[in-house]
Amino acid sequence: MSKTAYVRTKPHLNIGTMGHVDHGKTTLTAAITKVLSERGGGATSYVSFDRIDRAPEEAQRGITINIAHVEYETDTRHYAHVDMPGHADYIKNMVTGAAQLDGAILVVSALDGIMPQTAEHVLLARQVGVDHIVVALNKADAGDPELTDLVELEVRELLSAHGYGGDTVPVVRVSGLKALEGDPRWTAAIEGLLDAVDTYVPIPVRYTDAPFLLSVENVLTITGRGTVVTGAVERGTVRVGDRVAVLGADIETVVTGLETFGKPMESAEAGDNVALLLRGVERDRVRRGHVVAAPGSVVPSRRFTAQVYVLSTKEGGRSTPVTTGYRPQFYIRTADVVGDVDLGETAVARPGDTVTMTVELGRDVPLESGLGFAIREGGRTVGAGTVTGLL
Ligand SMILES: Nc1nc2c(ncn2[C@@H]2O[C@H](COP(=O)(O)OP(=O)(O)OP(=O)(O)O)[C@@H](O)[C@H]2O)c(=O)[nH]1
Ligand SMILES: [Mg+2]
């Protein structure tokens, strides 16, 4: 194998497109890679719409979180960009932290303006701690400029209402479609959008000094090499040759290979999207939701207290209150575990309420204070919470 190694020459950031269905998120993502690949100088390859939007392999295996990663490089930074195929995927990926975004591109169609999912994704971004949003007013090729001015005002107001400082947020008029067709005016607009992302989204502080931890998103077999797990490094660093524990599978093993976007690397650090080749581990032993960590650095547990926001009916949440004895699914990192809810003296939590609860999970999971999670039932998100203490 003569793959070019991944060389870390620029800071790495995780970003993604958010916004209402059909506003052009996937088209814009493809256009960004096209414009950057044609500019040259960086490591960007063009990723076509079809390659971003195809149903990922995992969808067929019934794994519930769909996410497409593309990679690109501007003059100053390396980005991993996630485009999520549907509204339900946003909820799951954002609330569970599977998509840990350092910043987001909010895509709003200049023809349609703010739609329900535009507002919902902004709310979600705020709840999960995405601190920086850049707006792409897309389909500007087809929009009436005066109407587009109104849409811009409306978007700035929405962002201000959620604490994003709507007056200062960059709003760039783009056309993903025309840029894909190579129209110079709209190619320049994409460059303008990327400049805004480069300058407005700061380089995050990462927990590279903490013990290594990665929550498994996907498990693959590479013929002749063995079992590979993929995911984002939540904290710490990992090198080829390191010993790791696979929590959930009760295995200790050694990392024998490390890749990012198909390129081998010597070491990966917090924020990187990686594939880890694990020595002598059978494919069936490891599952999505297991955690790979420095041995002895985390002790899984199952009882905790949490602060939980119960989504209002308007946000797609329940129409009836939650009471003690409620038994929904908890999405914690990439794991999906059933849990028993005890509301103590509060007794009842109505849609729209924020409450304290005690949870007992159906199995042990690595937990810690400050960890975010989603509560789901019947395939929809009904709550978002944070672990406040272990019991
Ligand atoms: N005129 C115009 N049409 C666009 C533009 N960008 C996207 N479209 C069209 O809008 C439709 C939706 O585009 P997508 O990129 O699939 O939108 P999306 O936001 O990814 O949609 P979902 O993933 O289904 O939520 C397609 O028919 C695109 O061709 C644009 O800049 N201008
Ligand atoms: Mg799409």
Residues annotated as catalytic are 22, 25-26, 87
Q: Does 62 appear as a known binding residue? A: no
Angle between helices 145-161 and 116-127 (to 10 degrees): 30
177 lines ligand 1 (CB under 6 A): yes
Say if 205 falls within a structural domain.
Answer: no
Of 252, 269, 293, which residue is a domain's last? 293
The C-alpha atoms of residue 95 and residue 334 are separated, in whole angstroms, by: 11
Average pLDDT over residues 306-323: 86
Confidence of residue 32 (pLDDT cuts 50, 70, 90): very high
Give the ligand 1 atom nearest the CA of 84: 23
Say if 154 falls within a structural domain.
Answer: yes
What CATH number has the domain bearing residue 368?
2.40.30.10
Q: Which residues contact 360 (CB under 8 A, 6 or more apart)?
A: 302, 303, 339, 340, 342
pLDDT of residue 2: 46
Quote the domain boundaries for residue 230.
213-293
How, if at all, do strands 213-215 and 291-293 pair?
Answer: antiparallel
Burial-class residue 72 by CB neighbours within 10 Å (0-12, 13-18, 19+): buried
CA 107 to centroid of ligand 1, rounded, Å: 10
Give the ligand 1 atom nearest the CA of 87: 25
Same domain (yes/no): 141, 45: yes
Same domain (yes/no): 312, 186: no
Same domain (yes/no): 284, 182: no
Q: Does 94 appear as a known binding residue? A: no
Any idea which ligand is nearest the CA of 20?
1
What are the beta bridge partners of residue 303?
360
The C-alpha atoms of residue 92 and residue 288 are separated, in whole angstroms, by: 14
pLDDT of residue 97: 62
Same domain (yes/no): 164, 21: yes
Number of structural domains found in the chain: 3
Q: What is the pLDDT of residues 61-92, one digit of tens each?
A: 333 346 778 899 999 999 999 888 777 777 76
Say if 319 falls within a structural domain.
Answer: yes
Q: Which helix (H) or strand (E) holds 294?
A: none
**DSSP assignment of 32-93, as one string?**
HHHHHHHH-SSS-----HHHHHSPPHHHHTT-S---EEEEEE-SS-EEEEEE-SSHHHHHHH
Say if 207 falls within a structural domain.
Answer: no
Of 172, 200, 228, which residue is a domain's last? 200
Say if 23 falls within a structural domain.
Answer: yes
3-class DSSP assignment, residue 152 = helix
176 lines ligand 1 (CB under 6 A): yes
Say if 206 falls within a structural domain.
Answer: no
Residue 343 has pLDDT above 90, yes or no: yes
The C-alpha atoms of residue 286 and residue 290 are separated, in whole angstroms, by: 7
The C-alpha atoms of residue 106 and residue 136 are separated, in whole angstroms, by: 6
Same domain (yes/no): 175, 230: no
Average pLDDT over residues 182-206: 95
End-to-end CA distance of the chain: 49
CA torsion 107-111-112-114 (nearest 10°) is 50
Residue nearest to atom 12 of ligand 1 (CA): 22
Same domain (yes/no): 79, 168: yes
Residue 4 has pLDDT above 90, yes or no: no
- Share of residues in the chain with pLDDT > 70 (%): 93
What CATH number has the domain bearing residue 108?
3.40.50.300
Say if 3 falls within a structural domain.
Answer: no
> How many Cβ atoms sit within 10 Å of the Cβ of residue 368?
13
Of 293, 322, 337, which residue is a domain's last? 293
Nearest in space to 288 (alpha carbons), one of 253, 240, 259, 331: 331
Residue 94 or 335, more confident = 335
Q: Which two tokens stand for residue 168?
A: 């200062």
Same domain (yes/no): 104, 217: no
Same domain (yes/no): 17, 57: yes
Average pLDDT over residues 164-189: 97
Same domain (yes/no): 153, 81: yes
Residue nearest to atom 8 of ligand 1 (CA): 24
Same domain (yes/no): 193, 220: no
CA 25 to centroid of ligand 1, rounded, Å: 6
Confidence of residue 25 (pLDDT cuts 50, 70, 90): very high
Which residue among 20, 26, 27 has the greatest number of ligand 1 atoms within 8 angstroms of its CB, and so is best to mutate?
27
Say if 5 falls within a structural domain.
Answer: no
Average pLDDT over residues 107-111: 97
ipTM of predicted complex: 0.99
pLDDT of residue 64: 39
C-alpha distances out from residue 21 to 45, 109, 150, 176, Å: 26, 10, 20, 15
Same domain (yes/no): 184, 116: yes
Same domain (yes/no): 40, 170: yes
